Amino acid sequence: MKEYPIKKNEEHTVEILDLTHEGMGIAKFDHYPVFIENALPGEKVRIKILKVGNKFGFAKVMEWLEKSPDRQTVDNEDLLRTGIAPLSHLSYEKQLLFKQNQVKNLMQRVAKLPDVPVLNTIGMAAPYHYRNKAQIPVKKVEGKLQTGFYRKNSHDLVPIEDFAIQDPEIDKAILVVRDILQRFNVKAYNEEAHEGFLRHIVIRRGHYSHQMMVVLVTRKEKFFKGEEIANVIHEELPEVVSVIQNINEEKTNVILGQKEKVLFGSSFIEDQLLGNTYRISAKSFYQVNTQQTEILYQTAIDFADLKKDDVVIDAYSGIGTIGLSVADRVKYVYGMETIESAVEDAKYNAEKNGITNATYLVGKAEKVMPQWAREEVNPTVIFVDPPRKGLDAKFIEAACEVEPERIVYISCNPATLARDLAFFAEKGYQTKKIQPVDLFPQTHHIECVALITRMD
């Protein structure tokens, strides 16, 4: 049996050497790493070993013997325990540096592009209360509906009312909606037994419009007094213009199901971004930090250096936010997206903003791209904004075959960005610079904009 230098429940005094990419402190015992929540580099701490695994262990801090000058006070440590705000104990200035260094390291280790300039992370003046969307699980605790968030790596619901990083109006609305559902005796979903009714409360609020959407995710379609409940929600929260029931009958961690019903008002809300108005449906992707998204997209637009005769492809186009933001500067915009309701929203958004030089299709980027190449759609600029898994190799191949002059890559995962930039390099495309933008303050997530150009 393999011997480890530590055992479960032992206590040790250690120095924290570094942070993991998720913001946990790292200590080492004969090269064996142990990850410790709420511990910062340079700190001396007494720890208790919680778990010993094959490659690494986990521990918790029992006492801080020496604290880092970069530590900031956390009002509610549940924000660390649940992973809602896992970097909130680190000063904001150092959070921005941590994120820039993460991108730099990946450029060296994964992309093998150590010379690509990674610029200073663009942060927020007020890095709290920025999220325009909340997805909150509901559980029955002592006979009452309880909202909060799951403790990391568990199904224990930690009751939380102030989420710190969400729009405060959303935090208030969660409690109002929960209490209305309690009055109507709506039963909470029980995950283990796959019983009960209400799974999640999802709330979106327009940053500029203040329009609010409430999505009640239920296990069954039949919703006793559903419309009456929706009307009461609107009465008590006048900003609510849309109440939707989303039906998710599966035993799954995925929050939203395929079917939905409008219980009150409209099937969407509207909000503004870079001067255009957008319709946002329950399942549409819309960046959760509106202020920073405007900076992110403006950075992407500046990197693209657009001209009047440019033909633009907006891959992973969502509801059209990037393509429609540049349509007035270019000849034509083509967009693609897999979610049908998002494509409907993109078409509506083009019409709503008087944009006539944009076409949107339903389909996977890696399938639509070769099709457009065959139809001789010759883009000069391609914008890509893929999900966390990054770009499909087929898409990269098809994109390079149509030989755009510039590709602007917006990434929510620097690890897959680094992998994809290495592919582009093999295909004769050069990464000029990367701009990290902090869309998710107090968390370890980071968005980047990379400028990729064709080498002649």
Q: Return the structure tokens found at 126.
A: 């007020």
Q: 359: helix, coil or strand?
A: strand
Q: Return the structure tokens found at 182.
A: 């309690």
Q: Which of 343, 412, 418, 448 is catalytic?
A: 412
The answer to whether 335 touches 314, Cβ cutoff 8 Å, is yes
In sequence order, the 6+-apart residues with CB closer than 8 A to the CB of 362 are 336, 337, 338, 339, 340, 343
Between CA 283 and CA 63 the distance in angstroms is 44
3-state SS of 341-352? Answer: HHHHHHHHHHHH
Between CA 108 and CA 429 the distance in angstroms is 17
Write b or e for each residue in 177-196: b if 16 or more Cβ atoms lie within 10 A of its Cβ, otherwise e. Answer: bbebbbeeebebbebeeeeb
CA torsion through residues 39, 44, 48, 52, sign: positive
Our answer to whether residue 412 is catalytic in this structure is: yes
Between CA 421 and CA 411 the distance in angstroms is 11
Give how far Cα 276 sits from Cα of 283, 325, 355, Å.
20, 7, 10
Nearest of 212, 136, 351 to residue 360 by alpha carbon = 351
The amino acid at residue 394 is K
Nearest of 350, 348, 323 to residue 335 by alpha carbon = 323
Q: Where does residue 70 fall: left (phi above 0), alpha (psi -120 to 50 degrees), or beta otherwise?
A: alpha
Question: Which residues belong to the active site?
Answer: 412
